[in-house]
């Protein structure tokens, strides 16, 4: 017997995460702080300058 699950909790057939679950914000620019944190780095003046150059 199979267990029934609501559609909202089902994973897509190919195992990928739907786009609407990946993005927390819409219509906003990425800040240097966002880039530093997403890169796994500490928020230091040097890392913020690196992120400003990348953006």
* Total number of domains constituting the chain: 1
What's the confidence (pLDDT) of residue 4?
54
Q: Does residue 49 form part of some domain? A: yes
Q: Which of 44, 24, 20 is nearest to 32 (CA)?
A: 44
What's the confidence (pLDDT) of residue 17?
79
**Residues 1-55: tens digit of each pLDDT:** 555 555 555 555 777 878 777 766 666 788 899 999 999 999 999 999 999 999 8
Q: Does residue 52 form part of some domain? A: yes
Cα 3 to chain centroid distance, Å, stands at 31
Name the pTM for this structure. Answer: 0.51
Task: Provide φ and ψ at 41, rounded to 5°.
Answer: -100, 165
Residue 38, domain extent? 29-55
What's the confidence (pLDDT) of residue 13?
72
């Amino acid at each position: 017997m199979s267990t029934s699950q609501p559609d909202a909790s089902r994973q897509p057939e190919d195992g990928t995460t739907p786009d609407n679950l990946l993005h927390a914000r819409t219509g906003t620019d990425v800040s240097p702080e966002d880039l530093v944190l997403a890169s796994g780095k500490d928020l230091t003046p040097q890392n913020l300058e690196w992120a400003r150059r990348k953006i």
